[in-house]
Structure 1
Amino acid sequence: MQEWYNFIKKGANIKKEIIATTNERVDKFLSKELNENRNQIEQLIKKGLVKVNSKPIKKGGVKLKQGDIIEITFPKTEEKESKKADFDIPILYEDEDLLIINKPPGVVVHPAPSYKEATLVDWLKQKGYSLSTIAGDERFGIVHRIDKETSGALVIAKNNKTHEFLSNQLKDKSMGRYYLMLLNEPLKEAKCVEAPIARNPKNRLKMAIVNGGKEAKTLFVPIQDNLTAAKLFTGRTHQIRVHLTKLGRYILGDTTYGKKEQKIPRVMLHARELYLTHPNGQKLSIIAPLFDDFKTLIQGIDDEKISSLSNIFATYDGMCDKQQTGA
């Protein structure tokens, strides 16, 4: 699908005819023919852009017969101008399928109507990276995201096959990240928080622990003083920050869920370690170095203690099977 997508970016309106060679569902057949996932095919069908024997179809479950003529229209779209990115991004790992970066604090991952500055996606385009297109124009290559003020490891998909492969790992929890943070008050011991999260009914800009919300589980482990690590078992918006409220804690610099702290430049949260399975089957565990603003605040802490968070959490394996939410 990358080939026709390149035409779309240039403002072309193209059609493609394919003759069915098997008797199967149209979405399944086109997924294989165009090397694209079925969700993308379904979007084309819903927009009336797929015809079988000159008749528009409305569902991907339509059964084909050998010899049927399938016509697909790829509509003209306007290419949005990328904003010039005057920042640089450290590369932690790269090959032909994926890119793992260390996102600096202050960089937004992808464009949004309310955000007018350059984003990570703009930087990727500016550098000429080949990126997946599954997530649409605004999110080229973006498999997952972290907040503007959060720093750390982030994986970028260079093609649609890799994007889908990594997305499936997010769903089955085989891909994830270990975080480091600085709290307003140290935890006395490791704690597991399991509490549902939803939009705060009193403030739509915040999330909260809400009965009937989406299930969420986080394990917090104290490292030294107020330096704390976290492992997410689910991936909800603001999950770490919301679950800390249940423990009576907040991340330094977090004015949304905590208090304003003098001389704290931003939310002191860093995605320290990313683990995943590469499409070639190789297990990857990538460590993202801390940025200077974070390092300045933990001077005197032994680097060995944060060299491998995966090893630290291995000692707490199974702890979240036992509910512990006290402070």
Structure 2
Amino acid sequence: MNTFTATASGRLDKILASQLDVSRNQVEKLVKEGLVSVNDQTITKSSFKIKEGDSVSYIFKEAEKRVVPPIDFDVEILYEDEYLLVVNKPSGLVVHPAPSVKEPTLVDWLIHKGISLSTISGEERYGIVHRIDKETTGALVVAKDNKVHEALSLQLQDKSMGRYYLALIDCPLKDDIVVDKPIGRNTKNRLKMDVVPEGRNAKTAFVKLLTSPHNVELIAAKLFTGRTHQIRVHLNTLGRHILGDDLYGFKSKRDKISRVNLHAYLLYLVHPVSGERMEFVAPLFDDMKMYISKNFDQGEVDEKIDPHTLGSRFNNL
């Protein structure tokens, strides 16, 4: 049996689908078969309302259990102590397992490495405090025990932990801007998210950094909330798209730009045990780094993305 603690209130099927990264139909089957319980009480209605802090348990049938594929890759560790670690996630790596995920995930790699991990989010999400989309790269913190996990989750809520992202977009922004629009599942395409009236609140700040001769712009982004595809969806509302993001409208062949050029560059947090404010810079991966070096002046880039001053660019937003 797998168990996790609900971090929000709402319908059981909606929250469980989000937790497992599966469709509502799959969740409905689990519920109807009596394989889901809330606070140790079996629930048979998908519309059952759960509250923040409720304990949700579920069982996958044997046929649906996931077999972990061989781990044939490594992940760069930017920092590690006995309480947490920070990794630089590569593109193409899913963060945590789900029934629909066939390839090895970051959680699989962590377990393979024998790293002690928190269990507060259930065994699919061992240690995972916050996530990054499969194609997005960059800094991600992992908790090694439940107390550290809880402390870091609180920091996400009070904004004492956060990340600054770098992205390459297909058309320059008119100005630095904050987008504050609710995000939910796209009603016509389950793979996409969209700005919808009934969605969860979502807020992103965008700052212009440099424009290339080809009209591609390097921008920085700061998240005030953590919705799926948030940066990509909010850019789409501005008529802008990240290079490689053909899901949301970037027009290019995959053989030219193979993935979404979005990178969680700078992670800041307060160490849950020592109380020290810490910052971690995740180096860009070769594909994004090479594109930038070919299309921008490297000296100007280094100045604009200097970790000591990047955060100050958002002060007036």
- TM-score, normalization: structure 2? 0.74
Q: Is the 8 A contact 1:224 1:301 kept in 2?
A: no
Cα RMSD, aligned residues only:
2.4
Counterpart selection for 1:231 from 212, 215, 222? 222
Counterpart selection for 2:187 from 186, 190, 201? 201
Is 2:298 aligned against 1:301? yes
Using the TM superposition, give the Cα deviation of residue 255 of structure 1 relative to its aligned residue in structure 2, in angstroms: 1.0
Task: Provide the secondary structure at the position in 1 that maps to 2:298.
Answer: coil
Indicate the residue corresponding to 1:153 in structure 2: 139
Moved over 4 A (4+): 77-81
Q: Provide the C-alpha distance between the structure 2 equivalents of 1:87 and 1:106, rounded to a whole number of angstroms.
A: 12
Structure 1 residues 122, 211: closer, same or farther in 2, change over 3 A?
same
Using the TM superposition, give the Cα deviation of residue 316 of structure 1 relative to its aligned residue in structure 2, in angstroms: 3.1
Superposed CA deviations along residues 198-229 of structure 1, whole A, max 9, x for unmatched, are: 11122222111112322211111111111111
Q: Provide the C-alpha distance between the structure 2 equivalents of 1:45 and 1:245, rounded to a whole number of angstroms.
A: 37
Q: Provide the C-alpha distance between the structure 1 equivalents of 2:311 and 2:277, rounded to a whole number of angstroms.
A: 17
Is 2:92 aligned against 1:106? yes
Supply the AA of the counterpart residue of 2:168.
L
Give matches, 1:29-178, under 5 Å.
46-47=39-40, 82-178=68-164
Q: Which has the larger radius of gyration?
A: 1
Indicate the residue corresponding to 1:61 in structure 2: none
Moved more, 207-216 or 107-116: 207-216
Structure 1 residues 224, 44: closer, same or farther in 2, change over 3 A?
same
Is 2:228 aligned against 1:242? no
Point out where structure 2 has 5 or more consecutive residues left out of the alignment: 3-35, 43-58, 212-216
Structure 1 residues 258, 45: closer, same or farther in 2, change over 3 A?
closer
Point out where structure 1 has 5 or more consecutive residues left out of the alignment: 1-7, 10-42, 50-74, 320-327
Supply the AA of the counterpart residue of 1:273.
L
Q: Provide the C-alpha distance between the structure 2 equivalents of 1:229 and 1:215, rounded to a whole number of angstroms.
A: 21
Identity %: 59
Indicate the residue corresponding to 1:274 in structure 2: 267
Q: Provide the C-alpha distance between the structure 1 equivalents of 2:263 and 2:129, rounded to a whole number of angstroms.
A: 18
Structure 1 residues 265, 97: closer, same or farther in 2, change over 3 A?
same
Using the TM superposition, give the Cα deviation of residue 80 of structure 1 relative to its aligned residue in structure 2, in angstroms: 6.9
Indicate the residue corresponding to 1:312 in structure 2: 310
Aligned length: 252
Structure 1 residues 135, 296: closer, same or farther in 2, change over 3 A?
same
Using the TM superposition, give the Cα deviation of residue 170 of structure 1 relative to its aligned residue in structure 2, in angstroms: 1.2
Indicate the residue corresponding to 2:53 in structure 1: none
Using the TM superposition, give the Cα deviation of residue 169 of structure 1 relative to its aligned residue in structure 2, in angstroms: 1.0
Superposed CA deviations along residues 133-182 of structure 1, whole A, max 9, x for unmatched, are: 11111111111110110000000001111011111111222211100000
Task: Provide the secondary structure at the position in 1 that maps to 2:266.
Answer: strand
Supply the AA of the counterpart residue of 1:297.
Y
Give matches, 1:241-260, under 5 Å.
241-260=232-251
Q: Provide the C-alpha distance between the structure 1 equivalents of 2:91 and 2:245, rounded to a whole number of angstroms.
A: 13
Task: Provide the secondary structure at the position in 2 that maps to 1:85.
Answer: coil
Q: Is the 8 A contact 2:242 2:250 kept in 1?
A: no
Indicate the residue corresponding to 2:48 in structure 1: none
- TM-score, normalization: structure 1? 0.72
Q: Provide the C-alpha distance between the structure 2 equivalents of 1:213 and 1:304, rounded to a whole number of angstroms.
A: 37
Supply the AA of the counterpart residue of 2:289.
K
